[in-house]
Structure 1
Amino acid sequence: MVNLEPPTRLEGKYAAIVVCFLLGNGCLFSWNSMLTIEDYYMYLFPKYHPSRVLTLVYQPFAVGTLAILSYNEAKVNTRLRNLFGYTLFFITTLLVLVINLATSGKGGIGTFIGICAISGGFGVADAHVQGGMVGDLSYMQPEFVQSFLGGLAASGALTSGLRLITKAAFDNSKDGLRKGAILFFAISTFFEFLCVLLYAFVFPKIPIVKYYRSIAASEGCKTVSADLAAGGIQTIPQGEEDLAQKQERKGNKQLFLENIDYLLDMFLIYALTLSIFPGFLSEDTGAHSLGTWYALVLIAMYNVWDLIGRYIPLLGFLKLESRKLITVVILCRFLLVPAFYFTAKYGDQGWMIMLTSFLGLSNGYLTVCVMTSAPKGYKGPEQNALGNLLVLFLLGGIFAGVTLDWLWLIGKGW
């Protein structure tokens, strides 16, 4: 029998919040490291638009993989899915180091193709981890989803901070850009390995996590069996499992129709954000007094304010919960497109930094408002499925955004 007794005083809640934050950080730490050293890749591959191409390569793998996983979500072993994702992050991050060392930091089309292949690997890993974790956490407490999303943003803020430090440390040294990049990916490789250990041995044994997974199992969720076993909980006997499976569960199509506004909200948030960040900010903001620091400062400000935005909804009176109002705010956010265009053309760097900060703040805030509001009112298996759908539309929005980002190059040549 599965023990459905709630843990005393929600035992392990804060430990779960911390681990969710670290796992969220690990989900995008490697990818954000690659984005944050765009100045190094721009130096190595000046003719290949790496800030745009690497993101464009990443997205088809992420969206395609997650579409397959979301369609088969009810049959996928969540534990194996997430462990595979974090392990792939570890291996691909290590490969970035190997390629750099093997080529002695030289550019060329061969090296660029290798980096693009690794970018595709990041996309596959992201689809496994981000969809799997958000789906898994959606039937637990909203604070867990919020903490995981906060970790996603923190990975950007942390990598930006590290990049500014490494640039300052190595700016005047020979091969300074390369040394900073190597240090970056050495840290990323270690952290991804840490996330594998956290998910494999720590997270499934936290009492409150075991409790919510037990509830989900009793409601017919088959994806949690391996995680329950890892946490030392016996799975449901066959007779009770058959009874649980007979409980009515809404399919993906019905969940899609009931939550189409939330799903489109996620798509639109990230379509706008990625049409500006990082490609436009890396290449199209002109020359300013900050020189080579300018793009790094913009990316850092975006990441820091994205992180801050994800914690604003913790103040209940500042959280948007009206479905219609959330959609209206997201549509109004598209006014940032002309704002960025005219600021890049006529404004100074102060205005651009302010706009970029607002882009990050609104992105983080609206993401958490949608992600924590949408799964309410459903059973565990349905919340898991809806979490996967939300991340699928999020990644679809990113794919659309990085494609639209190329429109900024119209009239500028290649």
Structure 2
Amino acid sequence: MVSPDRAPDRLEGKYAAMAVCWLLGNGCLFSWNSMLTVVDYYVFLFPQYHPSRILTLVYQPFALITLAILAYHEAKIDTRRRIIFGYILFFASSLLVLVLDLATSGKGGLGTFIGICVISGAFGVADANVQGGMVGDLSFMTSELIQSFLAGLAASGAITSALRLITKAAFENSKDGLRKGARKFEFFLLICSLRKGEKKKDSFYLLSIWLILMTSLFFAVLFFAISSFFEFLCVILYAFVFPKIPIVKYYRNKAASEGSKTVAADLAAGGIQTLSKEEVEKCSERFSNKQLLLQNIDYAIDMFVIYTLTLSIFPGFLSEDTGSHSLGGWYAVVLIAMYNVGDLIGRYIPLLKFFKLESRKYITAATLSRFLLVPAFYFTAKYGDQGWMIMLTSFLGLSNGYLTVCVLTAAPKGYKGPEQNALGNLLVLFLLGGIFAGATLDWLWLIGKGW
């Protein structure tokens, strides 16, 4: 058994662990980001239900309540089972999106929208299991691992945005693009009913419409087919690869020696003999969740404020309230893509120590300064052109990613493994609380617009 009292001369497998963490982060939000990235597709299918806002509001209560329960009982929950369950739920829910889309032939309607909302809620439950569990688990390891996981979260958004841009470009020559893909089935049925008595020479025209339909449905399910693959890959990586990486085994063993009960199954999966129950009890003294929260209330508020502001603008405002511009139907897609790219870049900036904020006061000041973005977005949408809006959106993503990494890597320092795990869960709880508050405040942009 590796001695928990001293760090190994070389932390073997560091870069392999970083790569796996990046992939695990990617899988954590790939399904949800797929839903957000094709939000203009859902806006077309369900225009009367405001899906860009409703889906987020459905997602967040499930995520928030689930994580609140898990964070409260964190010290007694098997992290391995929790995270694997989350990835399996992501995988199953992504498959259900495919089944629903194919079963309804890409048509809208209240029943279909309710089905999408149920799946959105399942994504929220899965997110609470995975994101809280992973951040807590990585909080007692080297900061590069949690940074890689957080970068993977952002990368999922950037990748889905890139796929969305490609598929939209592919459909630009077929009627009105992917946004109308779901309506082509109805159009096909209409053509068939009108042309029953016409000559067979028109059958080629009908075949062309059918081919457009099939292509449209193919691209409509592409995102969630890729999502399903990522989620299945994450189940394999976390269950069989991650526990066996030397650096991961070292930090988990160290956490176990400090009284952590949540890592026993992962240590066993990595082939390490865990401490006896009596030995764990001897070193299980730690700060309570309440004490940890009070000691880090500024970090918790920072996380809440960061995501409250971000989600009050993204994606609802960006997809519905930006007016008409020369980019036309591309506008919302480009804005969401620029946010995701900015978020990804921002999560890598703290790797440069010169640019990393570690002072609690400076982090809080930077977080509060982002409130200036609210009037900036309002006046830019009203008076500015699309270039300024794209720049603002990029900065929104950049600052969101940067501050997230700064908070989650700075807060756990100085605590024992079990305390770092608990603090990681608490900070993610405030993160999700901020997302829910932001998604709720996002409705304020609709004041004076018929709602």
TM-score range, shorter-chain basis? over 0.9
Secondary structure at 1:363 match in 2: helix
Secondary structure at 1:271 match in 2: helix
| Cα-to-partner distance string for 1:32-57 (whole Å, 9 max, x where unaligned) | 00000011111111111000000000
Partners of 1:361 and 1:148 in 2: CA distance: 17
Show the 5 A alignment for 1:9-408: 9-173=10-174, 174-175=212-213, 178-245=217-284, 248-408=285-445
| Cα-to-partner distance string for 1:389-413 (whole Å, 9 max, x where unaligned) | 0100000000000000000000001
The alpha-carbon deviation at position 237 of structure 1 amounts to 2.1
Secondary structure at 1:47 match in 2: helix
The alpha-carbon deviation at position 234 of structure 1 amounts to 1.1
Partners of 1:170 and 1:15 in 2: CA distance: 38
Contact 2:102 2:217 (8 Å CA) reproduced: no
Aligned length: 412
The alpha-carbon deviation at position 180 of structure 1 amounts to 2.3
Contact 2:244 2:271 (8 Å CA) reproduced: yes
Q: Identity, % of aligned pairs?
A: 79
The alpha-carbon deviation at position 244 of structure 1 amounts to 2.4
Q: CA RMSD in A?
A: 1.1
Partners of 2:270 and 2:366 in 1: CA distance: 42
Partners of 2:278 and 2:109 in 1: CA distance: 61
Partners of 1:239 and 1:384 in 2: CA distance: 21
| Cα-to-partner distance string for 1:146-191 (whole Å, 9 max, x where unaligned) | 0000000000001000110111123333346543221111111111
Contact 1:271 1:397 (8 Å CA) reproduced: yes
| Cα-to-partner distance string for 1:72-104 (whole Å, 9 max, x where unaligned) | 000000000000000000000000000001111
Contact 1:273 1:401 (8 Å CA) reproduced: yes
| Cα-to-partner distance string for 1:194-227 (whole Å, 9 max, x where unaligned) | 0010000000000110000000000000000000
Contact 1:93 1:188 (8 Å CA) reproduced: yes
The alpha-carbon deviation at position 239 of structure 1 amounts to 3.1
Max radius of gyration: which structure?
A: 2
| Cα-to-partner distance string for 1:329-384 (whole Å, 9 max, x where unaligned) | 11111010000000001111001000000100100111111110000000000000
Partners of 2:225 and 2:142 in 1: CA distance: 34
Secondary structure at 2:329 match in 1: helix
Contact 1:29 1:155 (8 Å CA) reproduced: yes
Give the corresponding residue for 2:185.
none
The alpha-carbon deviation at position 8 of structure 1 amounts to 4.9
Contact 2:309 2:438 (8 Å CA) reproduced: yes
Contact 1:40 1:178 (8 Å CA) reproduced: no
**Cα distance change of structure 1 residues 128 and 219 upon mapping to structure 2, 3 Å threshold:** same
Secondary structure at 1:10 match in 2: coil
Give the corresponding residue for 2:207.
none
| Cα-to-partner distance string for 1:292-314 (whole Å, 9 max, x where unaligned) | 11000000000001100010011
Contact 2:140 2:251 (8 Å CA) reproduced: yes
Partner amino acid for 1:14?
Answer: Y
Partners of 2:330 and 2:234 in 1: CA distance: 31
Partner amino acid for 1:207?
Answer: P
**Cα distance change of structure 1 residues 287 and 179 upon mapping to structure 2, 3 Å threshold:** farther
**Cα distance change of structure 1 residues 43 and 177 upon mapping to structure 2, 3 Å threshold:** farther
The alpha-carbon deviation at position 2 of structure 1 amounts to 6.0
Partner amino acid for 2:252?
Answer: R
Partners of 2:383 and 2:32 in 1: CA distance: 32
TM-score, with normalisation over the residues of structure 1? Answer: 0.98
5+ unaligned residues in a row in structure 2: which ranges? 175-211
